Amino acid sequence: MNIGQAAAQAGLPAKTIRYYEDIGLVKPARDANGYRTFVANDIHKLTFLAHARALGFSIDDCRDLLALWENTERASADVHRIAQDHLQQIEAKIADLGRMRDTLKTLVRDCAGDDRPDCPILNTLGDQPSP
């Protein structure tokens, strides 16, 4: 299977697959003409990567998860730890964004949004801490 079909199967852009090869996540064989050839196991790995990336795992996490996935001697604790850490990071980011959202919501609500220059958004952003 060529890269185009592999991309369609895995749900990844061909460019991304080439990049994943560059950084050593997959190692497709090559045809006589130099084209990459993807076998079922390659597709399976790419699908795994697509899923893991969709859950927000970093490439480094993906590398580790992939290694664990291929290692039948693994301890699920190792997988659990990676996922748990990642979950915590996501929750921290959600909390950060939630705070931004709350502030922004208030500012947007209080701004008239008309043709006059008065603007609580700019006033707030421009506020100097009292010296």
Written as one string, the DSSP assignment of the chain is --HHHHHHHHTS-HHHHHHHHHTTS---EE-TTS-EE--HHHHHHHHHHHHHHHTT--HHHHHHHHHHHH-TT--HHHHHHHHHHHHHHHHHHHHHHHHHHHHHHHHHHH---SSSS--HHHHHHHPPPP-
Q: Of how many residues is the chain composed? A: 131
Binds 19: which of DNA, a copy of itself, none (CB < 5-8 Å by kind) = DNA
Number of residues that bind a copy of itself (CB under 8 A): 55
**Looking at 56-64, 76-84, 104-112, 123-131, which segment touches DNA (CB under 7 A)?**
56-64
The tokens 């990049």 sit on which residue?
Answer: 19
Asked if 15 is part of the footprint of DNA (rule: CB under 7 A), the reply reads yes
Binds 24: which of a copy of itself, DNA, none (CB < 5-8 Å by kind) = none
Asked if 51 is part of the footprint of DNA (rule: CB under 7 A), the reply reads no
Q: Which is nearer to a copy of itself, 4 or 113 (CB)?
A: 113
Binding letters toward a copy of itself, positions 33-62, x by CB under 8 A: -----------x--xx--xx-xxx------
Asked if 25 is part of the footprint of a copy of itself (rule: CB under 8 A), the reply reads no
